Chain A
Amino acid sequence: MQEQQTAFATFLMRYSPLEVIVVEMQDPKSGVTGSEQKLNVTTIPHVFAGKDIIAWIANKMKTPPEEAHVFGTMLVAFGYIYPLQNHKMLVMCNDTSLYRFQVNPCFLRNQLTNVFDVVAAIYLAKRNIRKKGMLEPYEQAHYNHLHKWLNHKWDFIVMQATEQYKAGKERKKPDRVVFDCQERAYWILNRPPRRTHSAMDCGPERLIDPNEDENMFYQQAIMRSKVKSSVSLGALVKYITTYKTHDPFLAPCQPSNPWQTDNDTYWTLNMRGVDVPTKMRVERWSFSLFELLTDLRGRDDFKVFLKKEFSGENLAFWEAAEELKWGTGSSMSAKAETIFKTFLAPGAPRWINIDGRTMGLTVKGLDHPHRYVLEAAQTHVFLLMKKDTFFRYLKSPVYKDIQKKALSPETHNFSPAQLEQNAQNRSPGIHPIILWQQEEEEKAKTAAASAPVDVKAMMSKIDRKK
Chain B
Amino acid sequence: MACQGLQKGETLASLKTESDGLKKKLEVERGKLNDVELHQVAEKTEVLGALSIKTRRVLKGHGAKVLCMDWCKDKRRLVSSSQVRTSTDLWTREHGVSLPCTWVMACAYAPSGCAVACGGLDNKCSVIPLSLDKDENLAAKKKSVAMHTNYVSGCTFTNSDMQMLTSSGDGTCALWDVESGQLLQSFHGHTADVLSLDLAPSETGNTFVSGGCDRKANVWDMRSGQNIQSFESHESDINCVKYYPSGDAFASASDDATCRFYDLRADREVAVYQKDSIVFGASTVDFSLSGRLLFAGYNDYTINAWDVLKGNRVSILFGHENRVSRVKLSPDGTAICSASWDNTLRIWA
Residues in chain A within 8 A of chain B (CB atoms): 3, 6, 104, 106, 116, 119, 123, 145, 148, 179, 182-183, 186, 190, 203-215, 217-219, 221-222, 224, 226-237, 239-244, 246-250, 253, 257-260, 266-267, 270, 289-290, 293, 322-323, 325-330, 371-372, 375, 379, 382, 426, 428-436
B306 on the A face (CB < 8 A): no
Smallest Cβ distance from B199 to chain A, in angstroms? 11
Chain A to chain B: the 9 pairs with minimum beta-carbon distance, closest first: A432-B113, A218-B22, A243-B290, A247-B290, A259-B349, A182-B2, A211-B15, A326-B160, A204-B192
Verify A379–B204 contact, CB threshold 8 A.
Answer: yes
Q: Which chain B positions have C-beta within 8 A of A230?
A: 35-36, 41
Residues of the B chain whose Cβ atoms lie less than 8 Å from the Cβ of A323 = 160
A207 to B192, CA, bound (A): 8
Chain B interface, DSSP helix/strand/loop, else mixed: loop
**Chain B residues packing against A (C-beta within 8 Å):** 1-2, 4-5, 7-8, 12, 15-16, 18-19, 22-23, 25-26, 29-30, 33-38, 41-42, 45, 48, 51, 53, 56-57, 72-77, 90-93, 112-114, 130-132, 149, 158-160, 162-163, 171, 177-180, 182, 184, 188-189, 191-192, 202-204, 213-214, 223-224, 226-230, 244-246, 248-249, 263-268, 270, 288-293, 308-309, 332-335, 347, 349
- Given A229-B34, A233-B36, A235-B246, is A428 in contact with B265 using a C-beta cutoff of 8 Å? no
Contact (Cβ within 8 A) B224 A3:
yes
Bound together, the chains give a CA A293 to CA B248 distance in angstroms of 19
Please name all residues of chain A whose beta carbon is closer than 8 Å to the beta carbon of B2 when the two chains form the complex: 179, 182-183, 186
Residues of B within 8 A of A429 (CB): 74, 76
B61 to chain A, nearest CB (A): 15
Whether the pair B204, A426 counts as a contact (CB closer than 8 A) is no
Please give me the residue from chain B that is nearest to A237 by CB atom.
Answer: B41
List A contacts of B179 (CB < 8 A). Answer: 328-330
Bound form: Cα–Cα A58–B229 in Å: 49
Kindly state the separation between the CA atoms of A431 and B29 in the bound complex, as whole angstroms. Answer: 53
Contact B114 A222 (CB under 8 A): no
Question: Which of B1, B158, B270, B291 is A179 in contact with, Cβ under 8 Å?
Answer: B1
- What A residues does B18 contact at CB under 8 A? 211, 215
26 pairs from A and B in contact (CB 8 Å cutoff): A6-B226, A179-B1, A206-B191, A208-B189, A215-B18, A215-B19, A219-B22, A221-B229, A222-B26, A226-B33, A226-B266, A227-B265, A227-B266, A229-B34, A229-B37, A240-B290, A247-B290, A248-B349, A250-B292, A259-B335, A323-B160, A326-B160, A329-B180, A329-B184, A330-B180, A432-B72
- Would you call B48 and A250 a contact (CB within 8 A)? yes
Minimal beta-carbon separation of A222 from chain B (angstroms): 5
Q: With the chains together, A243 CA to B180 CA distance in Å?
A: 40
- Residues of A contacting B160 with CB < 8 Å? 323, 326-327
**Secondary structure call for the A interface:** helix
Contacts of A434 in B (CB 8 A): 132
The answer to whether B171 and A207 touch across the interface, beta carbons within 8 angstroms, is yes
Check A240 against B266 for contact (C-beta < 8 Å): no
Nearest Cβ on chain B to A105's Cβ, whole angstroms: 10
Name the B residues within 8 Å of A430 (CB-CB): 74
Whether the pair A290, B202 counts as a contact (CB closer than 8 A) is: yes
CA distance A233 to B42 in the complex (A): 9
Q: Are A372 and B36 in contact (CB under 8 A)?
A: no
Residue numbers in A under 8 Å from B130 (CB-CB): 433
Q: Across the two chains, which residue of chain B brings its CB closest to A289?
A: B203
- Distance in Å: Cβ of A111 to nearest Cβ of chain B: 14
CB-based contact B132/A240 at 8 Å? no
Given A204-B192, A229-B270, 13 more pairs with CB closer than 8 A: A182-B5, A212-B15, A218-B25, A227-B33, A229-B268, A232-B248, A232-B265, A233-B36, A239-B290, A240-B45, A248-B332, A249-B51, A249-B293
Tell me if A224 and B267 are in contact (CB < 8 A).
yes
Closest to A116 in B: B8
CB of A247 within 8 A of CB of B292, answer yes
Contacts of B12 in A (CB 8 A): 209, 211
Bound complex: CA of A224 vs CA of B10, how far in Å?
Answer: 30
B residues in contact with A241, CB < 8 Å? 45
Residue in B8, B41, B230, B264 whose beta carbon sits within 8 Å of that of A221 in the complex: B230
Report yes or no: B291 in contact with A239, Cβ–Cβ below 8 A: yes
With the chains together, A203 CA to B230 CA distance in Å? 17
Whether B203 lies near A208 (C-beta < 8 A) is no
Please report the C-alpha to C-alpha distance between residue A203 and residue B309 in the assembled complex, in whole angstroms. 33
Given contacts A233-B266, A329-B182, A433-B132, contact A204 B45 (CB under 8 A): no
Asked whether, in the complex, the Cβ of B180 is within 8 Å of the Cβ of A328, the reply is: yes
Determine if B33 and A237 form an interchain contact, defined as CB atoms under 8 angstroms apart.
no
Partner of B162, one of A260, A289, A328: A328
- Asked, given contacts A179-B2, A328-B179, whether A433 binds B202 with beta carbons under 8 Å apart, the answer is no
Task: Name the residue of chain A whose CB is nearest to the CB of B330.
Answer: A259
